[in-house]
Structure 1
Amino acid sequence: MGGTRAAAEEIEVAGHTVRLSSPDRVIFPKRGFTKADVFHYYLGVGDGIMRALGDRPTTLQRFPDGVEGEMFFQKRVPTRGVPPWVRTAEISFPSGRKAAELCPADLAHVAWAAQMGTIVFHPWPVRAADVDRPDELRVDLDPQPGTDFAHAATAAGELRAILDELGVTGWPKTSGGRGVHVYLRIQPRWSFVEVRRATIALARELGRRRPDLVTTAWWKEERGERVFVDFNQMARDRTIACAYSLRANARATVSTPVTWDELPDVDPDDFDLRTVPQRLAEQGDPHAGIDDAGWDITPLLEWAERDAAAGEGDMPYPPDHPKMPGEPKRVQPSKDRDRPR
């Protein structure tokens, strides 16, 4: 005989009533974490995740039957069955099509998304007030085969030195996997194209300083055993799991803000659904000051102009983007018949 299912609950969150159905459904089988565990995790990190998500159009990565079941990305809030208080923001895809994405105005929005089976939150690097001008420059340090988190952390330390020279604060976090993300809060004055160019310039400077450790090569065959700076995470409609988002892996890890001093010594697997709320409560949010000031990225755009003059222009866009002005061919180097041998 099957056991009886736990009854749905109604929970007050940020002045709204959010329904939690099937609270005992297992979402992370290896750890035994349930839908209620996920729901209450997000309530437990409320201050931190709202700092990461507040007023940002957000793509939801949903796993209604748990992380071993079907997954899909939801970019449009349904037109039916949505509480009247749920806010959205209209964003434009590279194709020119538009969508009304969830735009969390308070923690109830996060709780509602968790009720819908959302595990991972992917906010755009913009705010609802101006969805075409990023206020967040994201550096994604992605270890390639043969490298690991320690290499990414070392690369992040090298990046910190460059940021110190530029007079700007970087805010590091674990990816929840083997990578490291470093965010810069910038003035929302530039387009996605310009902010991506600035990111490429910063990545190239990092690669020049540590060519043994860091690569900006878009094609995997050219990366070697190095940490790839994924500059295309700043292309329109490309997003990264936010600070305090769970990741859809067996361990239920969390993309966790850390201090620069902590970064070389942490084990990203130690940050999970169980440990992060307690860490946040006891130590506070290392990203608490991230919104204090927006930086002027003009120095990076000047580096981009310098690089272009030296023959290092734009880089390939993701394959789902339309061909962009000034973009090189999207042809794998080993298959490029026109490339000098």
Structure 2
Amino acid sequence: MASTAIELDVDGRAVRLSNPDKVYFPEHGYTKRDVAEYYLAVAPGALRGLRDRPTTLQRFPDGIEAEFFYQKRAPKSLPDWLPTARIAFPSGRTADEICPTEAAAVLWAVNLGCLTFHPWPVRRTDTEHPDELRIDLDPQPGTDFADAVRAAHELRAVLEEHGLRGWPKTSGGRGLHVYVPIVPEWTFADCRHAVIALGRELERRMPGKVTTNWWKEERGERIFVDYNQMARDRTIASPYSVRPRPEATVSAPLRWEELDQATPLDFTIRTMPARYAELGDLHADLPDHAFRLDPLLELADRQAADHGVGDLPYPPDHPKAEGEPPRVQPSRARKH
């Protein structure tokens, strides 16, 4: 049932929250106010993952059991204190997306029904060169979070052997994300090739456990390294984002040392505030680092020279790339 709007004080800026008692998560009765209070509790960490980044909003204005949509373009009702940046899609079209610079922007979006934030891996001052490498370890049917954790540990070793460091977090679902801050000198294509190289090295080290196969029919019961999450206009849930699951799980930054004991259900809008109050933002130091991508691109070159491997398929909405293999799933190709 609708209720009277309330006003939130977010670091001295007033943000209106309409219908605060509207239920968003029916299984537990969590309301819009509960979501807002969660984001207030973790605001510095949530903002750290969004600051100055063009951000798509995943909006659930009537809760997780109703229709939702992704809002890429900044709405006309955008407050004058919230900046935007123009980003270019693979089609060549452009859009002005919001770029949060203060915690009030997070709560302003929550008032619109946003649960999950999807920031680009770039800053508004340079939208063509990512400053984060994001590796998505996605469990396929027959595998689970524990399998993703094993792959993440091996990924950590690969990164360290190449002079890089990763920061892990839960996806809020079944998988894991690992972020690597990088110097913003390389293109989206370069970053995607770097993740492909990482995935292929994991395949070599963990045979039968990890895959880079784009086609689902070829992945098997393995952890899929979703390299296309580094393609232009592909984003993943930001740190501390609420996920549209019955338990109201959140994407939780972790220490490497706690991966083996963690489960996605440990981190919800009810449990994360106390954890955050005790530990703070475990990834607060991530923006203080910036690694070079050269070692991973050199790894990609060696893989190409030693094994004759090349590019992998892009998402279907991307223009055909030079050297890209056919975008036809193998079972269909065999019929023709």
Partner of 2:17: 20
1:325-340 → structure 2 map (5 Å cutoff): 325-337=322-334
Q: Which moved more, 1:177-186 or 1:162-171?
A: 162-171
Number of matched residues?
Answer: 335
Shift of 1:6: 2.9
Partner of 1:107: 103
Answer whether contact 2:162 2:296 (CA < 8 A) is retained: no
Q: Which residue of 238, 242, 253 corresponds with 2:238?
A: 242
Q: Which residue of 59, 63, 68 corresponds with 2:65?
A: 68
The one-character-per-residue Cα deviations of 1:285-316 (angstroms, maximum 9, x if unpaired) are 22121112100010111111222233110000
Q: Which residue of 144, 159, 164 corresponds with 2:140?
A: 144
Query: Which consecutive segments of 4 or more residues in structure 1 shift more than 4 A?
Result: none
**Does 2:49 correspond to 1:52?**
yes
> What secondary structure, in the 3-state scheme, does the structure 1 residue paired with 2:178 have?
strand
Q: Which residue of 199, 209, 216 corresponds with 2:212?
A: 216
Partner of 1:301: 297
Shift of 1:44: 0.7
Question: Taking every aligned residue pair, what percent have the same amino acid on both sides?
Answer: 61
1:133-282 → structure 2 map (5 Å cutoff): 133-282=129-278
Structure-1 separation of matches of 2:66 and 2:83: 28
Structure-2 separation of matches of 1:78 and 1:271: 31
Structure-2 separation of matches of 1:280 and 1:212: 37
Shift of 1:324: 1.3
Point out where structure 2 has 5 or more consecutive residues left out of the alignment. Answer: none
> What secondary structure, in the 3-state scheme, does the structure 2 residue paired with 1:52 have?
helix
**Does 2:83 correspond to 1:87?**
yes
Structure-2 separation of matches of 1:127 and 1:83: 20
Shift of 1:337: 4.0
> What secondary structure, in the 3-state scheme, does the structure 2 residue paired with 1:248 have?
coil
The one-character-per-residue Cα deviations of 1:249-290 (angstroms, maximum 9, x if unpaired) are 111000001100100111110100011111011012221211
The one-character-per-residue Cα deviations of 1:33-64 (angstroms, maximum 9, x if unpaired) are 10111111111101111111111100000000
> What secondary structure, in the 3-state scheme, does the structure 2 residue paired with 1:176 have?
coil
Structure-2 separation of matches of 1:84 and 1:167: 42
> What secondary structure, in the 3-state scheme, does the structure 1 residue paired with 2:237 have?
coil
Structure-1 separation of matches of 2:29 and 2:248: 10
Partner of 2:126: 130
Structure-2 separation of matches of 1:125 and 1:15: 29
Partner of 1:78: 75
The one-character-per-residue Cα deviations of 1:180-203 (angstroms, maximum 9, x if unpaired) are 100000000000011101110111
Structure-2 separation of matches of 1:266 and 1:184: 21
Q: Match of 2:285, as an amino acid?
A: G
Q: TM-score by structure 2 length?
A: 0.97
Partner of 1:11: 8
Shift of 1:338: 9.4
Q: Match of 1:298, as an amino acid?
A: D
> What secondary structure, in the 3-state scheme, does the structure 2 residue paired with 1:133 have?
coil
Q: Match of 1:306, as an amino acid?
A: R
Taking only aligned residues, the RMSD between alpha carbons, in angstroms, comes to 1.3
Q: TM-score by structure 1 length?
A: 0.96
Q: Match of 1:58, as an amino acid?
A: T
Shift of 1:15: 3.2
Structure-1 separation of matches of 2:309 and 2:220: 20
Partner of 2:33: 36
> What secondary structure, in the 3-state scheme, does the structure 2 residue paired with 1:261 have?
helix
Shift of 1:233: 0.3
Shift of 1:334: 1.6
